[in-house]
């Protein structure tokens, strides 16, 4: 860590912390420090897997991997810094009085970029498994970056790239199949993407409950409250498709990106990028 200068701690979890640093050129980076000493072999393997997966990701809408190294019984993963905070914080700011919903164009600019990132991830036959608003990062230039691949998993060739079984993720974003302890695959990431889209429209997650069993029951058996009627029928329909209870009824990320509704917003996004350089 000698070549990095610590600025401030950005967050702390069960296994380590994320710190904002500068490198020798004065550029800001984020260092994720994971203490390996107290981890069980399986947990250590998961930490090292994140660095391995990040090395495979080369996409403008994915947090860029810079390097990783082990020092003093800790694994350090160095990534680029998104200077606009995360999507969860942006949603919370809009939800606070006076409530200020996102314009539909704002929602779709974020959503389209997350879709582009997820298409890259799924093309590598990787499940993110923890797609949620806190793991979507924003920049001052309007670029959106998907991050935190700490529980991501490369699908085994022996399964045909079809499914995983380990129950993992963040409760409000869990798909019905995970709640029912069934095998799951890329369509589970699509459910989580639908939760994020709903959350940007409604400024709340679609299913809420006081405890995990009650939440799982709602996810499996209930429909979410409708999103506000200020949004288009196309937006409402896309939410409904992504939050279909049966995985086979949900579109793939490629199908979402090819849809007329999203194509119109991608054209606007490209035009904006061309104007701003």
What are 22-47's pLDDT values in tens digits? 999 999 999 999 888 877 887 777 77
> In the prediction, which pLDDT does 41 show?
83
* Mean pLDDT score of the chain: 90
Q: What is the pLDDT of residue 167?
A: 53
CATH 3.30.200.20 domain extents, the chain: 5-80
Residue 161 has pLDDT above 50, yes or no: no
Give yes or no for residue 142 having a pLDDT over 90: yes
Q: What is the pLDDT of residue 158?
A: 36
pLDDT of residue 42: 78
Give the DSSP per-residue string, 27-75: -EEEEEEEE-TT--HHHHHHHHHHHHHHHH---TTBPPEEEEEEETTEE
Give the active site residue among 80, 130, 148, 189: 130
- Residue 159: band (very low, low, confident or very high) from pLDDT cuts 50, 70, 90: very low
Q: pLDDT tens digit string along 99-138?
A: 999 999 999 999 999 999 999 999 999 999 899 999 999 9
65-71 and 153-154 beta bridge pairing: unpaired
Phi, then psi, of 34 in degrees rounded to 5: -120, 115
What residue ranges of the chain are covered by domains with CATH 1.10.510.10? Answer: 87-276
98 preceded by cis ω (within 30°)?
A: yes
Q: What percent of the chain has pLDDT over 70?
A: 92
Per-residue confidence band for 152, with pLDDT thresholds at 50, 70 and 90: low
CATH class of 5-80: alpha beta
Tokens of 227: 């999103």
Instruction: Indicate the pLDDT class of residue 248, thresholds 50, 70 and 90.
Output: very high
pLDDT of residue 165: 53
List helix spans (H) across the chain. Answer: 41-56, 87-95, 104-123, 176-179, 186-202, 212-221, 233-242, 253-258, 260-276
Contacts 24+ apart (CB under 8 A), 261-269: 261/234, 261/235, 261/237, 262/108, 262/111, 262/112, 262/115, 262/238, 265/105, 265/108, 265/109, 265/111, 265/112, 266/112, 268/105, 268/109, 269/109, 269/112, 269/113
Is 160 a residue whose pLDDT tops 50? no
Say what the pLDDT of residue 271 is.
Answer: 83
261 pLDDT exceeds 50?
yes
Q: Looking at residue 213, what is its pLDDT?
A: 94
pLDDT digits (tens, 9 = 90+) for 185-240: 999 999 999 999 999 999 999 999 999 999 999 999 999 999 999 999 999 999 99
Q: If you ran DSSP here, which 8-state letter would residue 115 be given?
A: H
pLDDT at 156 > cutoff 60? no
130 in catalytic set? yes
Which pTM was predicted?
Answer: 0.89
Least confident of 6-15, 85-94, 219-228: 6-15
Mean of the pLDDT values across residues 250-274?
91
Report the 10 Å Cβ neighbour count for 270: 11
Angle between helix axes 233-242 and 186-202 (nearest 10 degrees) is 140
Helix 186-202 × helix 104-123 angle, to 10°: 170
Residue 32 is assigned to a ligand binding site? yes
The torsion angles phi and psi of 153, rounded to 5 degrees, stand at -145, 130
Nearest-angstrom CA–CA distance, 5 and 22: 5
Closest CA to 212 of 173, 240, 177: 173
Domain 87-276 class in CATH: mainly alpha
């Amino acid at each position: 860590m000698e070549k990095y200068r610590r600025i401030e701690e950005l967050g702390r979890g069960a296994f380590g912390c994320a710190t904002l640093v500068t490198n020798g050129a004065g550029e800001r980076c984020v260092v994720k420090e994971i203490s390996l000493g107290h981890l069980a072999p399986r947990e250590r393997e998961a930490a090292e897997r994140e660095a391995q997966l990040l090395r495979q990701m080369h996409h403008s809408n994915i947090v860029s991997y810079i390097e990783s190294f082990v020092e003093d019984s800790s694994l350090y993963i160095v990534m680029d810094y998104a200077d606009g905070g995360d999507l969860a914080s942006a949603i919370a700011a809009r939800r606070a009085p006076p409530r200020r919903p996102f314009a539909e164009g704002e929602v779709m600019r974020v959503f389209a970029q997350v879709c582009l990132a997820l298409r890259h991830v799924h093309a590598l036959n990787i499940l993110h498994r923890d797609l949620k608003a806190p793991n979507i990062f924003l920049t001052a230039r309007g670029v959106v970056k998907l991050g935190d691949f700490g529980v991501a998993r490369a699908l085994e060739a022996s399964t045909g790239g079809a499914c995983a079984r380990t129950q993992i993720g963040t409760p409000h974003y869990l798909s019905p199949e995970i709640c029912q302890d069934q095998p799951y695959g890329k369509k589970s990431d699509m459910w989580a993407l639908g939760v994020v889209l709903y959350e940007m429209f409604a400024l709340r997650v679609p299913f809420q409950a006081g405890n995990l069993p009650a939440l799982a029951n709602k996810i499996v058996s209930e429909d979410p409250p409708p999103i506000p009627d200020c949004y288009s029928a196309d937006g409402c329909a896309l939410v409904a498709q992504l939050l279909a209870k049966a995985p086979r009824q949900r579109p793939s990320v490629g199908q979402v990106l090819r849809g007329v509704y999203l194509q119109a917003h991608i054209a606007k996004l490209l035009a904006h990028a061309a104007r701003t350089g």
